[in-house]
Amino acid sequence: MNQVVLKGKTVDYELIYRQRKTMEIRLLPPNHIRVISPKGVPKSEIEKVLRKKEAWLLGKLDELAQFEPVTKQMKSGEMFYYLGNQIPMMIHKGNKDHVVFHDDRIEMHIKNEASNHMKQVLINAYSDATMQWIKFFVDKYVDQMTVKPQKIRIKNQRKRWGSCSSKKNLNFNWRLSMMPIEVIEYIVVHEMCHLIHLNHSKDFWQLVEKFLPDYKLRQEWVKKHGYTIMNIIAI
């Protein structure tokens, strides 16, 4: 972790070098600054940019500090997200582990009531639901984009909703099925566009907009609710 002094306050920031033309500054709750810079740019130049934006950065960090993780308990009546809505989970003792997502509730039948076991069963159910939605939207856009991923995997990504490798493999966060359907669609389109442009260039965003003209509205939902979704089940 690197440090820079902004208005007399020492602030940590993460520096990532990538093959790109422009510098990007991301702020992540509760107090994380991530700088993604073109290779070869000296730290002195990066910190000069940060100091130029110090008022904005410190203001945003104050806003982000208000976000706190909300870790849910594994008990009946606890509210969980599914497709963007908060609905209660109902837990029943059963002979086998089984989870069903309804519009107004989550029914969990469980043979082992240990908290860690129930948590893993729920994660597995979210993972299965996420994979179904991912495949649905990949199938929807694969012909339009004339590209196809080599592999699709559901992973426990702690800072990303999706990723695309140079080998054209797509990875998605198992938590995506907690988000609204239109947001899941945006994440899938975003990563599929990376199969064509493995960067965040102007051409990349124009391609995203071609398929989803309202993608910025979908992005806003992620910015507003993503931190809560990411931390709703601590593992």
For residue 81, the tally of other CB atoms under 10 A from its CB is 21
Domain ranges of the chain: 2-64, 79-230
Cβ burial, residue 84 (10 Å; 0-12/13-18/19+): middle
CB-facing half-sphere around the CA of 69: CA atoms within 13 A: 12
Q: What is the pLDDT of residues 36-80, one digit of tens each?
A: 999 999 999 999 999 999 998 888 887 776 665 567 888 999 999
Q: Which amino acid is at 138?
A: V
180: cis peptide before it, omega within 30°?
A: no
Residue appearing with tokens 């907009």: 209
Q: Is beta strand 79-82 parallel, antiparallel or unpaired with respect to 32-38?
A: unpaired
Structure tokens at 21: 């033309």
User: Which residues neighbour 221 within 8 Å (Cβ) at sequence distance 6 or greater?
Assistant: 84, 179, 180, 183
Q: What is the pLDDT of residues 9-37, one digit of tens each?
A: 888 899 999 988 889 998 876 678 899 99
Average pLDDT over residues 92-96: 89
- Could you tell me the pTM of the whole model? 0.75
Say yes or no: domain 79-230 is CATH 3.30.565.10. no
